[in-house]
Structure 1
């Protein structure tokens, strides 16, 4: 895909793109294009644009009028919120955005990663997803923030974050503002014992960041936001231990539905989008 904003073509009236780096692996085009096809939106196009956080403002500001919105992945989620002319309450509380929608006033930021986390928790835990006690979140970056917000919003009693640096000041309010107890620990803690005591493990970091720790962490149901490559070592270990797992491609699907509706003004064809994604993820290797 092109790494620059393309010019409008007569047959394409509406464009959306996902911004991030690296971006080649993104499955967002699979979801959104499937939605356009299902609804007969033939004049819509969704593509990928390689974009660092530093490049985001320039790329968005230079987008021609055919671009109605952008999905934003790492490392641009903080920059997306800073660029926006307005933002939803949840994006402001979380402090990052994965969605930019063009409005008559400029760009509106939202964070539909919350919908993604809520969706995978419901699939993973069923009727118990809104009755959580202790939750373990791995990482403290752009995806950890909506995970914390969603877990706390869903009534989690305690959230423990495992992170290499002390980011308590920015992460703790996301939990405690909704009544959850918060703890921050390092990777040198007794992770095996902790993982055996929690209701769910939510990993928001690349697999390389926890390489060698999978055997300690895989003692509870697991949400892993990574989907390339799939399955991740953490997911494979948890499944081998008999725990249910849900991957990042499912989170991606749930967060895309709200984006689709904000971009197009149409209700997202959830089933068609999910089926397209599942087919792509599980297709045989050539």
Structure 2
């Protein structure tokens, strides 16, 4: 592997986001290309707003094979694509653009990130129940990942009565969705009865919700930096199993590498590079 002229020929990918300096995608993809022997491959960060995305992708050099897409550009990426995966269409956003002969293909490997994170729990039932805190853009791939992991019933908890789009997404995925406010008196009981609590609420907003976390059976926090988060700290102090967003980040990158290179992702090399970057 890595000895052919094709392996040494220039190829590139990049991450599009604003801001983008914090992105660890270059760490993950760079480690993958090295492990695969793709000596001519490079990966870069491109600071790009949602409005700038079409022009940036339009001007892609011939050697550009694809883009990782982070916020706030995931909705624009979906709208730009000429072909869209079913899961990206249902979720309503794309974190991956892949060049094809007919144009650009959009996918949402964030779903793989969620299923990979859920697989990190020991003893999770085959049809887990879940409570999801927050109904923003991240909640939708979380719902898709829960559905892919066999979930059937999910409670969506939001600060305001704005869970409709996320609830519609969940129902399109075949989930039984219930919506409550974060202030609802029934929510602690829902959390204690569910198999997993998923936090998508950014810091510091989750600080006021730690009373919910300490009643959970398992916590998946989509955040990972700084670590531990307020939610993770509360769970760990209570002896509750925790999986962090770094596991989601790693697992979503596997699919991107495979879409870009056409080869199985070198998972151990990528995991080691991420752990080193995070100092864990």
TM-score higher than 0.5: yes
Aligned residue among 266, 269, 274 for 1:272: 269
CA 1:123 to 1:269, structure 2 compared with 1: closer, same or farther past 3 Å? same
Which residue number corresponds to residue 67 of structure 2? 70
Which residue number corresponds to residue 111 of structure 2? 114
Greater Cα offset, 181-190 or 232-241: 181-190
Q: Does 1:205 align with 2:210?
A: no
Greater Cα offset, 193-202 or 109-118: 193-202
Which residue number corresponds to residue 163 of structure 1? 158
* Contact 1:77/1:142 (<8 A) preserved: no
CA 1:152 to 1:174, structure 2 compared with 1: closer, same or farther past 3 Å? farther
Which residue number corresponds to residue 8 of structure 1? none
Q: Aligned pair count? A: 271
CA deviations on 1:110-133 (whole Å, 9 max, x unpaired) are 011111100110112x34253213
Separation in 1, partners of 2:251, 2:127? 20
Which residue number corresponds to residue 102 of structure 1? 99
Q: Does 1:142 align with 2:122?
A: no
Greater Cα offset, 70-79 or 14-23: 14-23
Separation in 2, partners of 1:175, 1:19? 27
Which residue number corresponds to residue 4 of structure 1? none
Secondary structure in structure 1 of the residue aligned to 2:193: coil
Q: TM-score, normalised by structure 2?
A: 0.90
| Structure 2 gaps, min length 5 | 1-7
CA RMSD between the two structures: 1.8
CA deviations on 1:28-80 (whole Å, 9 max, x unpaired) are 11111001111111111112122222222222222222221111111111111
* Contact 1:122/1:129 (<8 A) preserved: no
* Contact 1:34/1:273 (<8 A) preserved: yes
Question: Hey, which bits of structure 1, 4+ residues long, moved more than 6 A?
Answer: none
The CA deviation at 1:166 is: 3.5
Q: Does 1:234 align with 2:226?
A: no
Q: Does 1:130 align with 2:126?
A: yes
Separation in 1, partners of 2:243, 2:125? 13
Separation in 2, partners of 1:273, 1:90? 25
CA 1:77 to 1:227, structure 2 compared with 1: closer, same or farther past 3 Å? same
Secondary structure in structure 2 of the residue aligned to 1:262: helix
The CA deviation at 1:147 is: 0.7
